[in-house]
């Protein structure tokens, strides 16, 4: 059987899809011998397309095209020409808030706006466009991260992929994980930087459920404040408030304008063959039909569309005239009339339509065409799948009289409008029972014990079939009617979960989500599934009528507590042989305060170790659950036990930066000075996270700022490292020792100098920091300041009594450090402060020696003026003159230094310590004639020169 998704019949503004009919260009579904293969196009091998496809599960490009196809040409001009719309177009960081009742055309206007602005800026490469079409049936994938990822996808689709996104893809692909919200927002930030303006259209915000929606708006508002984003949002009136998120808001009320409805009706009449034949040549009848459809439409295109659909089947003028007078006055009437038309057809058509509408309106998520083909092929009593029973998709669409349509983007079947959902749910009161039975029945068709070889692509309904538990839960008191089916499912449940884990169904189905599931097949019993699925009636029956292994009770309680099923937990506690301890950590892990209360009341001990965090208190602190922390403290939880990472609950609360919980723990007697993980105290952790309020709380509670440990040894050194002036001040006032030495950075003063924080340097000096303590890699604070090129701090330290002549660290003296940097001002400052220019040690060369080697004429002159002795013999070369010759390769550059040294009385005849016995020999070896003459003029004594010794050997 070849099944094609057809192009709908009469379309309508507002994204209202057409009625039944038409074989078209939708996704192709090929059904052969009990297999269904859905082909939406070949998967691209293009690395860029792979990354973008991985980034977002949405393809709003196709959705935009589908909606535009249904829009009536010429409509919506009133919106595009409105002053508020024009203001929004030209004003960045502006929000256009568009409210309209159901069926008023909000979705179509969104599509028209997108099309309009894209054409307006078709040549503007720096202008970005993105749009989001929200749908209440897609709650599982409509997350903040996925929606922001879709925006990134759209903005990068015609540009090179940024390196950050490529790295994210590589990292998460290797780890088999999804990018976090912060990952996505980082990508969006660098994306928006490259745009001069960006237009974002979000349709049907009210179909995005809280709390995801609130968090999405909060992040969106921050982005709009940072970047030139023009945001347009459509919503139903009174459904969502912009609140305080957006400051600059324009508003437009959306409704179906009469001229738009007239255009729509006149055009759609041409697409109704029966009506077209009947009105041919009858202009008065045409006018009467138009007026009837337009009358009391109350701004709803949807109502006009449903009225048009109701006229499609009339075959004579009499029945058409009668239908005109009986057109439905509202959506309820229109839906009721459509269902009457369905019921008046043959029994097989009616059954087909009712079954399809029941599934589509009560399914937990949208169903694909392939899934529906399998659903409609299953009949009560079947023990195997026979796809010959599946009807053609055209027949399916026709049977539903325009109430359903195919979404080409995802090849899923949807109701024509969300208002049909509410109306149809009441039409099928036993829908969830029937759906659950079909799911259980379908899953029984397969031997899943060899799950690793199961091909889920051949049987698309197996994924949705896992919702059998959730549909059973929605039955309520009638759950017991399905207990036999549940027990059969339980016998294979272990294998279904293995398949779920192997195939990664997490994005489409959540029953088997990570949680305290047993590892062994023998524990997958009906009781465990009933507890996990909140099947209260069945749980009660199994607890009272059947004997279960104690280990089954353990897994049942763990799963029920983890998922927050209070009634099931109560049943297990009152009727089962359970230890309340089993569920405590799992309830805390998922932040279930009501269940924690129940388990504590039942005798759970908060101090028994278990789980990743070891104690219940640690787990609650990690989750930042204030109510649960309070419960545990009231239940006498020990606040000073070390947890899984060798840290106390207080240290974990500090790490999580939860001020209220820190206060609760301190009030409960937490020891502030226990050294925990990484040898840090709670105070050190708070300082490291720059949590000023928590630092203050800990100090007030008696935290010792001088306890050593961790990377920075003390809290003060850690505060200095992060350049947190307020925290440094608090620690000093609390008695922090400023002169403790630790690590390569030395004292707190030396670290402050290294971080070039002049305010903190002054604070430490005022607190009696010893300016001349030797420690760390660089020796003294003065040497560090010189090395860091910080002249203001050098002056502060000298004014505080820093000794420039201390020999230490890797440089020797502060003057040596200044010579390495060739900083003339600092050299002068040090000399003015009494720096000894002639200090010599076995390890560190004379200052003049160091200066001439670097060829700094100004510094050589300063040192000579300060009394540097030119004839000190040191190291392998001898005098400063000999060292200078050895390290200079350009005669012209060397000449000024040679002149300074000679003018200062350099002895040209001092015997050297290398191959060359004198300066003259070295100069001749280089062939420097000018310098040779200068040396001879200075009375250098010529010595026989051995040609076997060259300059290379001299300078080695």
Residue 845: pLDDT band (50, 70, 90) is: confident
Residue 405: pLDDT band (50, 70, 90) is: confident
- Return the pLDDT at 298: 65
Q: In the chain, where are the structural domains located? A: 43-254, 258-327, 429-513, 523-604, 740-836, 864-956
Mean pLDDT of 727-756: 90
According to DSSP, residue 159 is labeled: S
Of 435-439, 717-721, 875-879, the least confident: 875-879
In whole angstroms, how large is the CA radius of gyration of the chain? 41
> So what CATH class is 523-604?
mainly alpha
- Return the pLDDT at 913: 65
Residue 412: pLDDT band (50, 70, 90) is: confident
- Return the pLDDT at 952: 34
**Interhelix angle 212-226/144-156, nearest 10 degrees:** 40
DSSP string for residues in 408-465: TTTTEEEESSHHHHHHHHTT-TTHHHHHHHHHHHHHTTS--TTGGG--GGG-THHHHH
Residue 606: pLDDT band (50, 70, 90) is: very high
Sheet of strand 94-100, all strands in order from the earlier edge strand to the far edge: 127-133, 197-203, 229-235, 94-100, 249-254
Phi and psi dihedrals of 449, rounded to 5? -65, -25
Q: Is 26 exposed, middle or buried (0-12, 13-18, 19+ CB in 10 A)?
A: buried
Of 17-26, 698-707, 754-763, 878-887, the least confident: 17-26
204 Rama class: left (phi>0) / alpha (psi -120 to 50) / beta: left
Q: What is the pLDDT of residues 619-653, one digit of tens each?
A: 999 989 999 999 999 999 999 998 777 789 999 99
Residue range 864-956 in CATH 3.40.50.720: no
Whether the CB-CB separation of 901 and 884 falls below 8 Å is answered with: yes
CA triple 41-39-172, angle to 5 deg: 70
Of 381-385, 397-401, 901-905, the least confident: 397-401
Phi and psi dihedrals of 244, rounded to 5? -100, 15
Mean pLDDT of 749-759: 92
pLDDT at 802 over 90: yes
Count of alpha carbons within 13 Å of 902, Cβ hemisphere only? 21
Extract the tokens encoding 344.
Answer: 């008046």
Mean pLDDT of 364-379: 90
Whether the CB-CB separation of 613 and 622 falls below 8 Å is answered with: yes
Phi and psi dihedrals of 31, rounded to 5? -110, 115
Q: Is 935 exposed, middle or buried (0-12, 13-18, 19+ CB in 10 A)?
A: buried
- Return the pLDDT at 594: 96
3-state secondary structure of 1: coil
Q: How far is CA 723 from CA 129, 355, 727, 735, in A?
A: 42, 68, 9, 19
Residue 948: pLDDT band (50, 70, 90) is: very low
Equal fold, 43-254 vs 740-836:
no
In three-state form (DSSP H/G/I as H, E/B as E, the rest C), the secondary structure along 90-101 is HCCCEEEEEEEC
Residue range 740-836 in CATH 3.40.50.620: no
pLDDT at 519 over 70: yes
- Return the pLDDT at 811: 83
- Return the pLDDT at 618: 93
Q: How far is CA 198 from CA 125, 129, 150, 725, in A?
A: 11, 6, 14, 40
pLDDT at 814 over 80: yes
Rounded CA separation 44/46 (Å): 5
Of 523-527, 836-840, 885-889, the least confident: 885-889
pLDDT at 427 over 70: yes
What's the full length of the chain, in residues? 956
Rounded CA separation 750/745 (Å): 6
- Return the pLDDT at 296: 65
Whether the CB-CB separation of 712 and 678 falls below 8 Å is answered with: no
Whether the CB-CB separation of 806 and 813 falls below 8 Å is answered with: yes
From the CB of residue 322, how many other CB atoms can be counted at a distance below 10 Å? 11
Q: Is 293 exposed, middle or buried (0-12, 13-18, 19+ CB in 10 A)?
A: buried
Q: Which residue has the tokens 């199994």?
A: 542
- Return the pLDDT at 505: 56
Whether the CB-CB separation of 684 and 652 falls below 8 Å is answered with: no
Highest mean pLDDT among 333-347, 601-615, 781-795, 910-924: 781-795
Of 46-50, 523-527, 552-556, the least confident: 46-50
pLDDT at 24 over 70: no
CATH of 43-254, one of 2.60.40.420, 3.30.830.10, 3.40.50.300, 1.20.1530.20: 3.40.50.300
251 pairs with which residues across the strands?
A: 97
Mean pLDDT of 767-781: 89
Whether the CB-CB separation of 206 and 234 falls below 8 Å is answered with: no
More confident call, 263 vs 130: 130
With a CB cutoff of 8 Å and minimum separation 6, the contacts of 104 are 14, 254, 255, 256, 299, 300, 301, 302
Count of alpha carbons within 13 Å of 586, Cβ hemisphere only? 23
pLDDT at 40 over 60: no
- Return the pLDDT at 918: 80
More confident call, 113 vs 267: 113
- Return the pLDDT at 916: 58
Q: Which of 332, 333, 325, 372 is nearest to 353 (CA)?
A: 372
Residue 94: pLDDT band (50, 70, 90) is: confident
In three-state form (DSSP H/G/I as H, E/B as E, the rest C), the secondary structure along 57-88 is CCCHHHHHHHHHHHCCCCCCHHHHCCHHHHHH
Rounded CA separation 186/179 (Å): 11
Containing H/E element for 398? helix 393-399
Whether the CB-CB separation of 136 and 173 falls below 8 Å is answered with: no
Cα torsion angle, 535, 540, 545, 547, sign: positive
35 pairs with which residues across the strands?
A: 32
Query: What pTM was estimated for this model as a whole?
Result: 0.66
Residue 882: pLDDT band (50, 70, 90) is: confident
Rounded CA separation 855/834 (Å): 24
Residue 720: pLDDT band (50, 70, 90) is: very high
Rounded CA separation 161/141 (Å): 24
pLDDT at 9 over 80: no
3-state secondary structure of 38: strand
Q: Which of 333, 326, 262 is nearest to 294 (CA)?
A: 262
More confident call, 633 vs 841: 633
pLDDT at 481 over 70: yes
- Return the pLDDT at 2: 35
3-state secondary structure of 201: strand
Give the distance, in angstroms, between the CA of residue 37 and the centroid of all CA atoms in the same chain: 33
pLDDT at 28 over 90: no
- Return the pLDDT at 408: 66
3-state secondary structure of 629: helix
936 pairs with which residues across the strands?
A: none
Instruction: Please report, for the chain, how many H helices and E strands are present, in that order.
Output: 50, 11
pLDDT at 610 over 90: no
What value does the mean pLDDT of the chain take? Answer: 83
Highest mean pLDDT among 18-32, 53-67, 284-298, 768-782: 768-782
- Return the pLDDT at 461: 92
In the chain, the percentage of residues whose pLDDT exceeds 90 is 37
More confident call, 91 vs 585: 585
CA triple 436-437-439, angle to 5 deg: 65
Mean pLDDT of 846-852: 86
DSSP string for residues in 532-580: HTT-HHHHHHHHHHS---HHHHHHHHHHHHHHT-HHHHHHHHHHS---T
Q: Which of 836, 908, 832, 844 is nearest to 870 (CA)?
A: 908
């Amino acid at each position: 059987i070849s099944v094609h998704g057809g192009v709908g019949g009469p379309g309508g503004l507002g994204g209202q899809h057409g009625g039944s009919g038409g074989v078209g260009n939708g996704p192709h579904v090929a059904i052969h011998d009990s297999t269904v293969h859905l082909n939406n196009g070949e998967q691209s091998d293009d690395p860029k397309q792979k990354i973008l496809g991985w980034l977002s599960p949405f393809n709003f490009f196709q959705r935009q095209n589908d909606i535009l196809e249904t829009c009536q040409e010429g409509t919506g001009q009133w919106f595009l020409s409105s002053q508020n719309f024009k203001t929004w177009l030209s004003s960045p960081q502006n929000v256009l808030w568009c409210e309209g009742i159901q069926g008023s055309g909000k979705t179509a206007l969104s599509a028209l706006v997108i099309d309009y602005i894209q054409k307006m800026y078709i040549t503007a490469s720096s202008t970005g466009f993105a749009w989001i079409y929200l749908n209440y049936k897609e709650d599982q994938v409509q997350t903040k991260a996925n929606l922001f990822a879709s925006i990134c996808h759209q903005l990068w689709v015609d540009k090179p992929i940024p390196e950050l996104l490529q790295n994210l893809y590589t990292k998460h692909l290797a780890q088999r994980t999804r990018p976090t919200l912060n990952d996505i927002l980082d990508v969006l930030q660098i994306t928006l930087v490259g745009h001069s303006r960006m237009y974002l259209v979000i349709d049907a915000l009210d179909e995005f459920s809280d709390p995801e929606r609130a968090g999405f708006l909060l992040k969106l508002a921050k982005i709009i404040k940072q970047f030139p984003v023009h945001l347009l949002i459509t919503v139903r009136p009174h459904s969502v408030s912009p609140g305080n998120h957006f400051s600059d808001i324009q508003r437009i009320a959306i409704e179906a304008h009469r001229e738009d409805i007239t255009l729509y009706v006149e055009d759609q009449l041409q697409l109704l063959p029966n009506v077209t034949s009947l009105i041919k040549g009858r202009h008065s009848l045409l006018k009467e039909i138009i007026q009837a459809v337009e009358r009391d439409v109350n701004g709803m295109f949807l109502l006009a569309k449903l009225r048009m659909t109701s006229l499609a089947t009339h075959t004579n003028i009499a029945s058409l005239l009668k239908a005109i007078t009986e057109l439905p006055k509202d959506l309820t009437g229109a839906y009721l009339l459509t269902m009457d038309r369905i019921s008046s057809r043959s029994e097989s058509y009616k059954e087909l339509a009712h079954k399809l509408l029941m599934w589509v309106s009560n399914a937990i998520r949208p169903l694909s065409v392939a899934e529906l083909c399998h659903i409609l092929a299953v009949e009560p009593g079947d023990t195997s799948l026979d796809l010959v029973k599946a009807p053609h998709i055209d027949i399916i669409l026709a049977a539903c009289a325009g109430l359903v349509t195919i979404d080409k983007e995802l090849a899923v079947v949807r109701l024509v409008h969300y208002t049909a959902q509410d109306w149809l749910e009441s039409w099928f009161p036993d829908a969830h029972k029937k759906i659950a039975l079909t799911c259980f029945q379908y899953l029984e068709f397969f031997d899943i014990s060899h799950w690793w070889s199961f091909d889920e692509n051949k049987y698309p309904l197996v994924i949705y079939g896992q919702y059998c538990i959730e549909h059973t839960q929605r039955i309520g008191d009638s759950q017991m009617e399905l207990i036999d089916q549940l027990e059969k499912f339980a016998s294979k449940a272990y294998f279904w979960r293995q398949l779920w884990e192997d195939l990664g169904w997490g994005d489409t189905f959540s029953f088997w989500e990570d949680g305290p599931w047993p590892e062994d097949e023998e524990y997958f019993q009906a009781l465990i599934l009933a507890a996990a699925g909140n099947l209260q009636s069945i749980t009660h029956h199994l607890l009272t009528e059947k004997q279960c292994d104690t280990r089954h009770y353990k897994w049942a309680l763990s799963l029920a507590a983890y998922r927050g099923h209070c009634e099931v937990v109560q049943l297990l506690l009152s009727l089962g042989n359970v230890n309340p301890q089993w569920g405590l950590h799992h309830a805390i892990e998922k932040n279930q305060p009501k269940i924690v209360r129940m388990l504590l009341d039942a005798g759970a001990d908060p101090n028994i170790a278990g789980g990743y965090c070891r104690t219940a208190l640690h787990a609650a602190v990690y989750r930042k659950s204030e109510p649960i922390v309070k419960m545990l403290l009231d239940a006498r939880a020990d606040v000073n036990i070390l947890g899984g990472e060798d840290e106390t609950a207080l240290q974990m609360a500090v790490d999580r930066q939860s001020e209220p919980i820190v206060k609760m723990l301190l009030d409960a007697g937490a020891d502030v000075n226990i050294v925990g993980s990484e040898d840090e105290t709670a105070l050190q952790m708070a300082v490291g996270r720059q949590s000023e309020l928590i630092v203050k709380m800990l100090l007030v509670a008696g935290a010792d700022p001088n306890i050593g440990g961790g990377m920075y040894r003390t809290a003060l050194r850690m505060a200095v490292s992060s350049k947190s002036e307020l925290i440094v001040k608090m620690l000093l006032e609390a008695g922090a020792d400023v002169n403790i030495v630790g690590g390569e950075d030395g004292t707190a003063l030396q670290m402050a100098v290294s971080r070039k924080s002049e305010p903190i340097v002054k604070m430490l000096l005022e607190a009696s920091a010893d300016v001349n303590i030797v420690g760390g890699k660089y020796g003294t604070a003065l040497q560090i300041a010189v090395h860091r090129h910080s002249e203001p701090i050098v002056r502060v330290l000298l004014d505080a009594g820093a000794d420039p002549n201390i020999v230490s660290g890797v440089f020797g003296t502060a003057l040596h450090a200044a010579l390495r940097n060739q900083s003339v001002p600092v050299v002068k400052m040090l000399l003015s402060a009494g720096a000894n220019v002639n200090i010599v040690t076995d390890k560190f060369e004379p200052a003049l020696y160091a200066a001439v080697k670097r060829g700094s004429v100004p510094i050589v002159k300063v040192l000579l003026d300060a009394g540097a002795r030119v004839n000190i013999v040191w190291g392998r070369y001898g005098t400063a003159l000999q060292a200078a010759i050895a390290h200079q390769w350009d005669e012209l550059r060397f000449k000024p230094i040679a002149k300074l040294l000679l003018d200062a009385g350099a002895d040209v005849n001092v015997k050297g310590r290398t191959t060359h016995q004198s300066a003259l020999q070295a100069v001749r070896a280089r062939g420097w004639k000018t310098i040779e003459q200068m040396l001879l003029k200075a009375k250098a004594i010529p010595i026989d020169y051995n040609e076997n010794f060259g300059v290379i050997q001299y300078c080695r």
